[in-house]
Amino acid sequence: MINGLTMDDYPLSPTAVVERAERFHTDKDVVSRRPDGSITRTTLGACAHRARKLATALTDLGVSEGDKVATLLWNQAEHLEMYFAVPAMGAIVHTLNPRLHADELTFIVGDAQDRIIVVDESLLEVFDSFRLTHHFDHVIVVTHNRPAPAGMLDYENIIRDAEPIQWPRIDERQAGAMCYTSGTTGRPKGVVYSHRSLVLHSMAAALPDALGVSTQDTLLPVVPMFHVNAWGLPYAAALLGARLVLPGSKLDAVSVLDLIETEKVTMSAGVPTVWMTMLDALDAEPNRWDLSLLDRLIVGGAAAPRSLLEGYDRHGLTVVQAWGMTETSPMGAVSRLPADLENCDEKTKYEFRTRQGIAMPFFDIRARNEDGEFIVWDDNAMGELEVRGPWVASGYHNDTGADNFTEDGWFRTGDIVRIDSRGCIRICDRSKDLVKSGGEWISSVDLENHLMAHPAVAEAAVIAVPDERWGERPLAVLVLRTGMTADTVQLREHLSTEFARWQLPERFEFVSTIPRTATGKFKKRDLRDQFTA
Amino acid sequence: MINGLTMDDYPLSPTAVVERAERFHTDKDVVSRRPDGSITRTTLGACAHRARKLATALTDLGVSEGDKVATLLWNQAEHLEMYFAVPAMGAIVHTLNPRLHADELTFIVGDAQDRIIVVDESLLEVFDSFRLTHHFDHVIVVTHNRPAPAGMLDYENIIRDAEPIQWPRIDERQAGAMCYTSGTTGRPKGVVYSHRSLVLHSMAAALPDALGVSTQDTLLPVVPMFHVNAWGLPYAAALLGARLVLPGSKLDAVSVLDLIETEKVTMSAGVPTVWMTMLDALDAEPNRWDLSLLDRLIVGGAAAPRSLLEGYDRHGLTVVQAWGMTETSPMGAVSRLPADLENCDEKTKYEFRTRQGIAMPFFDIRARNEDGEFIVWDDNAMGELEVRGPWVASGYHNDTGADNFTEDGWFRTGDIVRIDSRGCIRICDRSKDLVKSGGEWISSVDLENHLMAHPAVAEAAVIAVPDERWGERPLAVLVLRTGMTADTVQLREHLSTEFARWQLPERFEFVSTIPRTATGKFKKRDLRDQFTA
């Protein structure tokens, strides 16, 4: 007790979230689509109750406080049960991305020292690709069609006869979850989330100016639950009592649109690629789906081009941009149009909505230029964004990557940004993707966004290529839409409405696909290897 | 670092709120109505900046960490500056209720050991009534028309030349604010709020299912800032960037309605009495005010009768009921109609909306019957509500009132409640107000609400009076509307549509006013003294 303080020392923990789901939101649906396309239904209450049985089963299998339990699962009710059970019992749920290369998965499970893994039957092949490289005490399989392979346990079997535990009281600064960075540079690095960070992040994400989650909502996270806490949506749903629709492995546009319609989804969240393909489907068949209950689509993980927002506006659907990273849990900023811009012209509105947004409460931001000076918030000066807050990492697992943090403990994001007077962030580039030509910076992101606004362009990635005269010059790699054409002259003309002459790329390379990381980001390193050889 | 945890240890503190106001919400209006009715305008940014100068001035006057600084102020920008400066500098802001009796104020400032007091010029008379009973190191006056009296300091003078400080880093469990219970039973008791509790409370209050505060909002707290953190609204506004309209001392219906209209208020909050008189004004002149931007009125501090909700519904305005106490910061529960009741009949909807609501996230509830057993959540069993959570008291200042807390640390609210299967609280009575007749409980609150639904009844308070045969019987004290009449037979007939015969009061006392506490609650003790003599 400090200064005669008389407040309860109640821990901020997913335990409270799980208990709330079981007590207050018992009957709220949790809908899962299985790999075969079938739908199963359960409730938040049932998942929370089963989590208490799962915790007993995991304890019986030797899991104790601080142990890592890995998941290789889709967005499905069992994954939610793992989100519930593992932190609340005092262990650490470590979500693995099945789209990573076997070598990366090998590194990650070894680095984390995962003791047990829970695998969906449909992901056993992925598991086979790295299982022999690491010793798991137990492998638990969520089965659908066939029994668990010999030597592995069946998820339902271990839960069936287990007694539901009473959750222990846990220090809110204890670790509860873990996720690895996508590792576009160097080895993936582990981020370990505290109980406190997990729930503060989800509560802040639920605020009206962020994702605005309420008991009226039905959430469909297209963003995978193996990807940075699924942007906080599972805990937000359980805390606020929103319905949860978990789309499993089938994330093609038609499947997602069908699910949004039939399950009366009010909010969905995913990376730009998902919404781009979905927009194509909507443009092709604008009257096929009744999406009248769909209130907002959250886009994050990569910058959304204006054309994406415009496209959805045509269908009466609102896309809201959010920004974050593995190191920030991930939600850091959301781009909601401020009240005073509501009556602005379209250009100003889109200009704002394509920004990364305003930092959430308790999420501190600043940016530093090359000379290490803090930039002014004038929407002009550029610098690397540094952040801190209750759900921001202050280091990595096993003490790697210390140079990603400043001496005073802020996380260096690697994003080069401008910040306007109201604190709205605009990412100009990744520090390593910025093009420096003749001593001036050219933003590859700005070029990409404007190229993607061209009707013939499906995808665009801009990289820096060495240039004898200018140091670096931008090079554009393009995927054209089927049946459409555009040449260098047309594309330069298109860009010249927004960019100075010296900023225009000289080289345009036309390809059939642009390589992407497991989390959907352009693999610019690969492009550089290919086009700067 | 526990278990290799890598999250930032960022303190949850009003400091972050004040910094955010200055950085992100600089230009958001803070409107104050002065005692003479004039309007002054400043901004969140200016208040936050002046708070840094105020902190220097207070430090120069001898305020150091843990000291209590009292306020005797209305809802006005200077009060907001005190909310900002005092906790952020490490001291404790202690809000005094000017409507309390001088004896109570004397007790309170002595019990708290306030070192400095900031008084609005219009409240100097109140201050004079207790100033000689306690030594204040300094008295600071917010002046409007005349200079500060001799021996007192002028608020503007001490700020004018002070340097703005850089806020120190503060332990989030440190005390930041203080408020006394209204003391309907026994001495007022001090509740000391931690930095953490203050901001978690305001963040939770801003969630969509609670008050739903966003940057689009203009908030008008009719609830005084001297009354339990003004329900969290000042910090919520600063955190989320809402405009703030502070109505000062003039809280008559026409003044408030004028302010709502001219300042484009979207949300207001106050006790039922305020909304009752405002409803009368609206009924009298339904077309006088344009309230089209007013999205919701929050009612709390006492139960709102159905007639109040119905009355506002007639004007197309939504009243949302909230529940809390000084010991709970105060927001504990909010009664928002759940999605599955939206298509119900009117009676069911009002029945739900007049409940005290569903507990907010991280706010744990349970209730115990007379035998000390926890009641089931079947909407039938009754028990005393017990609560705990990050913004709930676990004790009082100076270790008083220990019997208000259970052995395992829950706060005993004194409210007798039923809880339904979704966790919605319905207060049947204060434990001391419940009528026990022939071994059965009769709810005075239910009787009052139904009496107030009678067209001739303006106000109704029901108390228990001793009865030889039944132990206790209910007695109704009524204020009739001007020019209207109702007799005992009519009122019993009115009640008999909802209540069993044995529950109907035999005695009805007609009075011109019902005495109220300084916070607007019926003084039932006084009624019992008057009518059971």
Q: How confident is the model at residue B30 (pLDDT cuts 50, 70, 90)?
A: very high
End-to-end CA distance of chain A: 65
| Span B272-318, pLDDT tens digits | 888 989 999 999 999 999 999 999 999 998 778 888 999 999 999 99
- Are B142 and B76 spatial neighbours (Cβ–Cβ below 8 Å)? yes
Whether residue B8 and residue A389 make contact (CB cut-off 8 A), yes or no, is yes
Residues whose CB falls within 8 Å of the CB of residue A480, separated by 6 or more in sequence, listed in order: A456, A457, A458, A486, A510
- Model confidence at B257: pLDDT above 90: yes
Whether residue A24 and residue B423 make contact (CB cut-off 8 A), yes or no, is yes
Mean pLDDT of B105-117: 97
Place of tokens 């609005």: B120
| Span A259-313, pLDDT tens digits | 999 999 999 999 888 898 999 999 999 999 999 999 999 999 877 888 899 999 9
Mean pLDDT of B258-284: 95
Q: How confident is the model at residue A103 (pLDDT cuts 50, 70, 90)?
A: confident
- Are A237 and A246 spatial neighbours (Cβ–Cβ below 8 Å)? no
* Chain B touched by A212 (CB under 8 Å): yes
Bigger pLDDT: A57 vs B515: A57
* Chain A touched by B212 (CB under 8 Å): yes
Q: What angle do CA B239, B240, B242 make, to 5 degrees?
A: 110
Using CB atoms, pick whichever of A4, A171, A397 lies closest to residue B4: A397
Q: How confident is the model at residue A433 (pLDDT cuts 50, 70, 90)?
A: confident
Average pLDDT taken over every residue of chain B: 93
Neighbour tally for B251: CB within 10 Å: 20
CA atoms within 13 A on the CB side of B336: 19
Place of tokens 């886009």: A299
pLDDT at A532: 79
Whether residue B395 and residue A6 make contact (CB cut-off 8 A), yes or no, is yes
- Are A436 and A464 spatial neighbours (Cβ–Cβ below 8 Å)? yes
The domain made up of A14-25+43-195 is a member of CATH 3.40.50.720? no
* Chain B touched by A93 (CB under 8 Å): no
Q: Is A487 exposed, middle or buried (0-12, 13-18, 19+ CB in 10 A)?
A: exposed
- Are B109 and B70 spatial neighbours (Cβ–Cβ below 8 Å)? yes
pLDDT at B6: 76
pLDDT at A279: 96
Q: Is B441 a catalytic residue?
A: yes
* Chain B touched by A396 (CB under 8 Å): yes
Give A210→chain B minimum CA distance, Å.
9
Nearest CA in chain A to B425: A24
Nearest to B330 by CA among B183, B433, B205: B205
CA distance A383 to A368: 5
What DSSP state is assigned to residue A492?
A: H
For the record, the structure tokens of B105 come out as 């104020």
Q: Which segments of B354-487 does DSSP mark as H helices, in order?
A: 444-452
CA distance B377 to A355: 47
pLDDT at A183: 56
Q: Where are the domains of chain B?
A: 14-28+39-194, 435-531
Whether residue B393 and residue A8 make contact (CB cut-off 8 A), yes or no, is yes
pLDDT at B5: 60
Mean pLDDT of A245-263: 96
Phi, psi of B390, deg, nearest 5: -65, -15
CA distance B277 to B235: 28
The fold of the B14-28+39-194 domain, in CATH, is: Rossmann fold (3.40.50)
Residues whose CB falls within 8 Å of the CB of residue B22, separated by 6 or more in sequence, listed in order: B44, B45, B48, B49
Using CB atoms, pick whichever of A5, A23, A199 lies closest to residue B423: A23
pLDDT at A301: 83
Nearest CA in chain B to A209: B214
Residues of B in contact with A199 (CB under 8 A): 362
What residue type is assigned to position A399 of the chain?
A: D
Mean pLDDT of A230-248: 98
Residues of B in contact with A423 (CB under 8 A): 23-24
CATH class of this structure's domain B435-531: alpha beta
Mean pLDDT of B429-438: 74
Mean pLDDT of B173-185: 84
Q: Which of A7, A19, A411 should one mutate to test binding to chain B, selecting the residue with the greatest count of B CBs within 10 A?
A: A7
Cα separation values, B292 from B32, B251, B261, B449, Å: 22, 21, 9, 29
* Chain B touched by A94 (CB under 8 Å): no
pLDDT at A2: 45
Residues of B in contact with A20 (CB under 8 A): 361
Catalytic positions of A are: 181, 327, 436, 441
pTM greater than 0.90 (yes/no) = no
pLDDT at B2: 44
Q: How confident is the model at residue B79 (pLDDT cuts 50, 70, 90)?
A: very high
Average pLDDT taken over every residue of chain A: 93
Reported ipTM: the value is 0.87
Using CB atoms, pick whichever of B338, B362, B396 lies closest to residue A215: B338
Q: How confident is the model at residue B1 (pLDDT cuts 50, 70, 90)?
A: very low
CA atoms within 13 A on the CB side of B61: 29
